[in-house]
Amino acid sequence: MAQLIPIKVTVNDTVYERQVEPRLLLSDFIRHELGLFGTHVGCEHGMCGACTILFDGEPVRSCLIFAVQANGHQIKTVESLGSPDHMHPLQEAFHEKHGLQCGFCTPGILMTVVPFLEEHPHPTEDEIREAIDGNICRCTGYEKIIESVQAASEKMSSGK
Amino acid sequence: MNVEGEYIFNGPQQAVYDMFNDPNALATAVPGMQKMVQVDETHYEGAIFLRIGPISAAFEGVLSLSDINPPESCTLNIEGKGKAGFAKGVGRVKFTDLGNNQTKLNYSGEVNIGGTLASVGQRMIDSVAKSMIKSGCEKLQKTLEERCQQK
Amino acid sequence: MTGKYFGQPVLRLEDKHLLTGRAKFCDDIVIPGMLHAAFLRSDYAHAIIKNIDVTEARKHPGVVAVYTAEDMGDYWKIGPLQVPPPFAIKDAQFNARPLPPIAKDKVRFSGEPIAIVIAESRYIAEDACEDIIFDAEPLPAVIDLEKAWEDTSVLVHDDLPSNMAALVKQEAGDYEAAKKQADVVVSKRFVADHVAGAAMENRGFVVNWDERTQEMTVWAGTQAPLPLRSAIAGRMGLVENQVRVITPYIGGGFGPKVMTSQADDVLLPWISMKLNRPIKWIEDRRENFLATTSERDQVHHCEMALKKDGTILGFKDVFYHNTGAYDPYGMTVPLNTQTHTVSNYRVPNFYTEIRMVFTNEMVVTPVRGAGRSEGVFVMERMMDLAAKELKMDPVEIRLKNLLKKEEFPLNTGVIGQDFVVGVLDSGDYKNNLEKCIQMVDYEKFRKEIQPKARKEGKHLGIGVVAFTEGTAVGPYEGARVTVGNNGKVSVSTGYSTQGQGHFTVFAQIVAEQLNVKVEDVRVITGDTGHFHWGAGTFASRGATIAGSAIHAAAVLVREKIFATAAKFLEVPEDQVDLCEGSACVKGHPEKFISLGDLAGKANPMRGAVEADVKPGLEATAYYAPPHGATGSGACAMIVDVDPETFKVKIERFVLVHDCGTVINPLLLEGQIQGGVSMGIGNAFYEKMVYDENGQLMTASFMDYLMPQATDMPRKMEIGHNVHPSPLNTLGLKGVGEAGALPPSPAFCQAVEDALYEYELDLTESNLNPSMLYEFRNKAIKR
């Protein structure tokens, strides 16, 4: 058994202290150590974007980072956005515009779009396409995802 | 995958040929080569550590020489296997005396790869092979110079 | 037939859990004491197994067990065939070679499992796979379809005289006679390239054998929970009710997840019982590419005979179909191809021949489109070829030959994947195309936009194609609808769902009948503990087949509500009405009983019970169609091609579709758009490439290019025609695969039209800039 390294990570505002193997992927840490299953793993080589989380506020692929690299950092996962009864406006917009089908890529897309909308509160369609270009969705053909993000930007800027 | 090319050594044909039949010289020339042991006249066993794009893994294999025709040509057969797949290759090398203490090496061969090496590494393997051959030849050139000086 | 809920753009019930990360997928299942599995897979595509030494792997700390085929003893069995051979077709030849669970003696494709490691963690299991020494003698690989058909020097299955997996001929009329009457005969060879289903969630399987209850629970990302349950029970010697298969949320299906009797579902239940421990296996992306089924990969030799005016006299198609190393899924895919080459136009004489070939590649089974894509591709390309030859407009030649709505129902004379002769039930194919060219403004494009663009040096081209989608085949599906004591309604069906929105559309069907809120209908799909009859998710059949069964059950419950309420309200049945969530007296909404209370009454207690008791506001019903329902459509695409870089931008994408009655227009659009993105991916980005040694060169998303947001057209303009199917009460036809069918041929036609300076002849379904460059270089300059 490889040596274990102590880490202290803040995930969704909760501080977790764990002993982990140095090779443990952050995606596996979040899912299997912390039980936060909203972060999905689609390819494990950084191409599909399903495992996107916020790392100190920046969207990153948690399958390309080791858990030990998250030591001392702040992480946000999809679970931090909203609950079924109190969804985030972005989640509401995806619901209203049919921006998801199987929903497997969705958490990664949401976590990509959250910081994007903070920087671009009134994005153009092209900007949205660029922003989610690194997230693969097999179900929707993206059109309704774009509409969802547009609707979310309107909701959020009007403070609804 | 096919490999083909040439390299001009500064040294006499026989010395260049000998070097290609010397496991110690070859072992130091191939990047990542960790050992090379002679089994019999024409067979060597070796271990190599390769980095190809996202893959880095150890391979063990056998190098054998055939069609030996000193100091003009020989055929190198390589068969290697490791956790990241396998490779099997044949390389024909030919040496031509260009005069002026120069020897031209012509090489051509095919390499078949399998496993992760193929399914993930194939995009890089062509350029990795080329760069390995180039740096290998450069190393051999240095060895050759050292040997010629010693003589 | 739009109602209060039925036909409305109801928002999805399943969304909230998915959006907030609360939905439970296969890899989210955790059971105390659970072990993890990893497969060692062959690097060779074709090799004789010499030795598999697992000694070191067994010693690896954290490893609980390692098994090879040899360790399985008598439990190791080949097969069974998941889909039977096409016995309904006269003289069909089929060599059944179903999947072995794990390779024994010989490996036949790169990625074939050769050992399984069970360990305390997946990391350890994968480590221990590396400790296994696999010694094999490599053989040459069989890859080229046409060559493999003739060449018997290397055989995928040594006990067969050739690499022939099947030979099936179907014909109507007399093609050769028709050819003699023809003014022109055009012929061409086409390649339909190999693509992956590539659902975002890989496959997964969790199994728990409980020794004390003698029950096995399986969670699997499967499209076919009931066949899976029956297969497991059969192998384990258990009666069906000892095995419960549950489909958790599934991250996309697209076809390959319909497979059963593969390494995971054969080995893991057996090992779980042996070790008396729960086990989880989650496939990774590379495994998914290597060893989960994929599709297309055909080579067609087509010939079409026509009159001068463009009327088709006959069509001939001899095609090679790659089935991969085994053929467990029968002939579903090539039969679909056969039915779809001649389903759109009037083809009085045709001959179509399947040459199904074994190769050293992973097995081919349906992927969204499923043989239809190939059929539509070659037929549409042949129409273009004929149009060029006859100097006709591609739209004109299509309109001339498309079947007319008066001709339906039309017996096609081709036996399809459901083993019955195809019948085109309804539709207006010509109107689909007319509407499509109207939406795209074909005239204006030809007369104004394109000439102007050409003057400006731009290369704009248009492609217009028509298609049909055979959907909703049998055998059957079923469902049970129950009103609960709280007035909410539960629906259980054996049908499983992978993101299509069944929780919502099924609820709409029930809500409409029972006049309850859609959100008060809870749908359970694909849990064999709740409903244990059905076939599975394939052939765009969910809404139609399971939907019709659910509708039938809801109608029965509605009748029961009326009967029970009449008794309770003391009025004749025809005086009962359904108010929202209750039954009331017609015209007297104040005299009512809530459905929940009525459900209580329908469960008679002591003293109230009658001899022929049928308790509960509950009913079970099934639906089995006589044959499939056929959707139809037309598609137009305008592309802008850069003649230097061959970058292709889709400027406009128009699709007119007819899937009969619409249950939910919002979800319908989603289904079509998703299909289209897969079709566009297939046309220009996605391609599985095997080298001549059978090594898969595209086993990651770095090499297998999925369409991304910037690759898609800005807007998919979708038009609808509604010609309800006469086959079922609701008038439904399937739609799931429609969008994936027309993009490839439309793309080819549009690109040829754009690069007008050359006599371009695009004969492959998957192009990319470098292939376009090669095709252009081969083409004659006009």
Residue C14 in contact with partner chain A when CB distance is under 8 A = yes
Domain count within chain B: 1
Half-sphere exposure of C108 (CA within 13 A, CB side): 24
Specify whether the CB–CB gap between C463 and C655 falls below 8 A: no
Strand-pair category, C184-195 with C93-94: unpaired
Mark yes or no for CB contact C697/B85 under 8 Å: no
Q: What is the pLDDT of residues C154-192, one digit of tens each?
A: 999 999 999 999 999 999 999 999 999 999 999 999 999
Mark yes or no for CB contact A47/C701 under 8 Å: yes
Q: What is the pLDDT of residues B63-101, one digit of tens each?
A: 888 998 989 999 988 888 888 888 888 989 999 999 999
ipTM exceeding cut-off 0.85 for this assembly: yes
**Out of C285, C709, C716, closest to residue A132 by CB:** C709
Residue C628 per-residue DSSP state? -
Residue C445 per-residue DSSP state? I
Write down the pLDDT at residue A1. 54
Mark yes or no for CB contact B119/C696 under 8 Å: yes
Strand-pair category, C576-579 with C349-358: unpaired
Q: Which of C42, C43, C284, C692 to mutate to test the interface with B (most CBs of B within 10 A)?
A: C43
Residue A160 has pLDDT above 60, yes or no: no
Mark yes or no for CB contact C123/A24 under 8 Å: yes
Chain C 682-701, residues with CB within 8 Å of chain A CB atoms: 700-701
Shortest Cα distance from B110 to chain C (angstroms)? 12
**pLDDT in single tens digits along all 151 residues of chain B:** 788 999 999 999 999 998 888 878 888 888 888 888 888 888 889 898 888 877 888 889 898 889 989 899 999 888 888 888 888 889 899 999 999 999 999 999 888 888 888 888 777 888 888 888 888 899 999 988 888 887 6
Residue A105 in contact with partner chain C when CB distance is under 8 A = yes
- Tokens encoding C225: 């929970």
Q: Name the closest residue on chain C to residue A95, using Cα atoms.
A: C15
The class level of CATH for A89-157 reads mainly alpha
Shortest Cα distance from A72 to chain C (angstroms)? 24
Exposed (0-12), middle (13-18) or buried (19+): which is A64, by Cβ within 10 Å?
middle
Give the span between the Cα atoms of C243 and C166, in whole angstroms.
Answer: 35
Mark yes or no for CB contact A91/C27 under 8 Å: no
Write down the pLDDT at residue B49. 87
Q: Give every CB contact of residue C609 below 8 A, 6+ residues apart in sequence.
A: none
Shortest Cα distance from A94 to chain C (angstroms)? 8
Pick the more confident residue, C10 or B37.
Answer: C10
Q: Give every CB contact of residue B108 below 8 A, 6+ residues apart in sequence.
A: B2, B3, B4, B5, B91, B92
Q: Is C274 helix (H, G, I), strand (E, B) or coil?
A: helix
Write down the pLDDT at residue B151. 63
Residues spanned by the domain of B132: 2-150
Strand-pair category, B55-69 with B43-52: antiparallel
Give the span between the Cα atoms of C338 and C358, in whole angstroms.
Answer: 19
Give the span between the Cα atoms of C661 and C643, in whole angstroms.
Answer: 43
Specify whether the CB–CB gap between C297 and C367 falls below 8 A: no
Minimal CA–CA distance to C751: which of C681, C651, C672? C651
Minimal CA–CA distance to C352: which of C301, C316, C381? C316
Single-letter code of the amino acid located at C275: L
Q: In what order do the strands lie in the sheet with A58-61?
A: A14-20, A5-11, A74-76, A52-55, A58-61
Q: What is the pLDDT of residues C503-512, one digit of tens each?
A: 999 999 999 9
- Tokens encoding C179: 């050819």
Specify whether the CB–CB gap between C544 and C552 falls below 8 A: no
Query: For residue B41, what is the domain's CATH number?
Result: 3.30.530.20
Residue C290: list chain B partners with CB under 8 A. Answer: 119
Specify whether the CB–CB gap between B32 and B147 falls below 8 A: no
**Out of C16, C673, C701, closest to residue A143 by CB:** C673
Write down the pLDDT at residue B78. 87
Mark yes or no for CB contact A138/C198 under 8 Å: yes
Write down the pLDDT at residue A36. 98
Residues in chain B: 151
Q: What's the mean per-residue pLDDT of chain C?
A: 96
Q: Which of A1-5, A54-58, C565-569 has the lowest mean pLDDT?
A: A1-5
**Out of C201, C677, C700, closest to residue A45 by CB:** C700
Shortest Cα distance from A144 to chain C (angstroms)? 8
Average pLDDT over residues C629-650: 97
- Where are any strands of DSSP class E within C222-376? 243-246, 279-282, 295-306, 312-324, 349-358
Residue A70 has pLDDT above 80, yes or no: yes
Question: For chain C, which domains are there?
Answer: 295-473+626-781 (3.30.365.10), 474-623 (3.30.365.10)
Rg (CA), chain B: 15
Q: What is the pLDDT of residues C372-393, one digit of tens each?
A: 999 999 999 999 999 999 999 9
* Residue carrying structure tokens 């061969």: B109
Q: Which of B117, B119, B123 to mutate to test the interface with C (most CBs of C within 10 A)?
A: B119
Q: Name the closest residue on chain C to residue A35, using Cα atoms.
A: C28
Minimal CA–CA distance to C635: which of C472, C750, C539? C750
Give the span between the Cα atoms of C681 and A24, in whole angstroms.
Answer: 34
Half-sphere exposure of A107 (CA within 13 A, CB side): 36
Residues in chain A: 160
Half-sphere exposure of C731 (CA within 13 A, CB side): 15
DSSP labels for B49-83?
Answer: EEEETTEEEEEEEEEEEEEEETTTEEEEEEEEEET
Give the span between the Cα atoms of C34 and C742, in whole angstroms.
Answer: 46
Q: Name the closest residue on chain C to residue B125, using Cα atoms.
A: C697
Residue C688: list chain B partners with CB under 8 A. Answer: none
DSSP labels for chain A?
Answer: -PPPEEEEEEETTEEEEEEE-TT-BHHHIIIIIT--TTS--S-SSSSS-TTEEEETTEEEEGGGSBGGGGTT-EEE-GGGT-BTTB--HHHHHHHHTT--SS-SSHHHHHHHHHHHHHH-SS--HHHHHHHTTTS--SSS-SHHHHHHHHHHHHHHHTT-
Give the span between the Cα atoms of B148 and C486, in whole angstroms.
Answer: 96
In this complex, which chains have at least 3 CB pairs below 8 Å with chain B?
C
Residue C196 in contact with partner chain B when CB distance is under 8 A = no
DSSP labels for C205-219?
Answer: EEEEEETTTTEEEEE
Chain B 74-93, residues with CB within 8 Å of chain C CB atoms: 83, 85-86, 88
What confidence category does residue A108 fall into, taking pLDDT thresholds of 50, 70 and 90? very high
The class level of CATH for A5-80 reads alpha beta
Strand-pair category, A58-61 with C460-471: unpaired
Give the span between the Cα atoms of B29 and B144, in whole angstroms.
Answer: 11
Residue C325 in contact with partner chain A when CB distance is under 8 A = no
Residue A98: list chain C partners with CB under 8 A. Answer: 11-12, 666-667, 669-670
Residue C698 in contact with partner chain B when CB distance is under 8 A = yes
Chain A 44-73, residues with CB within 8 Å of chain C CB atoms: 44-45, 47-48, 50
Mark yes or no for CB contact C709/A84 under 8 Å: no
Half-sphere exposure of C331 (CA within 13 A, CB side): 33
Q: Give every CB contact of residue C41 below 8 A, 6+ residues apart in sequence.
A: C110, C111, C112, C113, C114, C287, C290, C291
Helix C665-684 with A143-157: angle, nearest 10 deg = 120
Shortest Cα distance from A129 to chain C (angstroms)? 5
Q: Name the closest residue on chain C to residue A50, using Cα atoms.
A: C200
Residue C665 in contact with partner chain A when CB distance is under 8 A = no
- Tokens encoding C541: 């059949």
Residue C122 has pLDDT above 90, yes or no: yes
**Interface contacts (B, C; CB < 8 Å):** 44
DSSP labels for C564-577?
Answer: HHHHHHTS-GGGEE
Give the span between the Cα atoms of C65 and C56, in whole angstroms.
Answer: 12
Buried b (16+ CB within 10 A) or exposed e, B40-69: eeeebebbbebebeebebebebebbbeeee
Is the bond into C86 cis (omega within 30 degrees of 0)? no
Give the span between the Cα atoms of A118 and A128, in whole angstroms.
Answer: 13
Q: What is the pLDDT of residues C395-419, one digit of tens each?
A: 999 999 999 999 999 999 999 998 9
In this complex, which chains have at least 3 CB pairs below 8 Å with chain A?
C
**Out of C44, C138, C290, closest to residue B119 by CB:** C290
Average pLDDT over residues C573-600: 95
**Out of B83, B113, B123, closest to residue C695 by CB:** B113
What are the structural domain ranges in chain A?
A: 5-80, 89-157
Write down the pLDDT at residue A159. 66
Mark yes or no for CB contact C702/A95 under 8 Å: no
Q: Is C5 helix (H, G, I), strand (E, B) or coil?
A: coil
Average pLDDT over residues C259-263: 96
Mark yes or no for CB contact A141/C123 under 8 Å: no
What confidence category does residue C305 fall into, taking pLDDT thresholds of 50, 70 and 90? very high
DSSP labels for C585-625?
Answer: ETTEEEEEEEHHHHHHHTS--TTT--TT---SSEEEEEE--
Average pLDDT over residues A97-122: 98
Average pLDDT over residues C308-324: 98
Phi and psi at residue B116, to the nearest 5°: -55, -35
Q: Which of A98, A110, A144, A149 to mutate to test the interface with C (most CBs of C within 10 A)?
A: A98
Integer distance in angstroms from the first to the last C-alpha of chain B?
A: 39
**Out of A100, A130, A139, closest to residue C710 by CB:** A130
- Tally of CB atoms within 10 A around C515: 19
Residue C76 has pLDDT above 60, yes or no: yes
Q: What is the 3-state secondary structure (H, E, C) of C283-298?
A: CCHHHHHHHCCEEEEE
* Residue carrying structure tokens 């794009």: B53
Residue C773 has pLDDT above 70, yes or no: yes
Give the span between the Cα atoms of C351 and C315, in whole angstroms.
Answer: 6
Q: In what order do the strands lie in the sheet with C582-585?
A: C576-579, C582-585, C588-594
- Tokens encoding C758: 């050359």
Residue C285 in contact with partner chain B when CB distance is under 8 A = no
Give the span between the Cα atoms of C299 and C353, in whole angstroms.
Answer: 12
Specify whether the CB–CB gap between C263 and C101 falls below 8 A: yes
Give the span between the Cα atoms of C51 and A27, in whole angstroms.
Answer: 37
**Out of C130, C138, C700, closest to residue B83 by CB:** C130
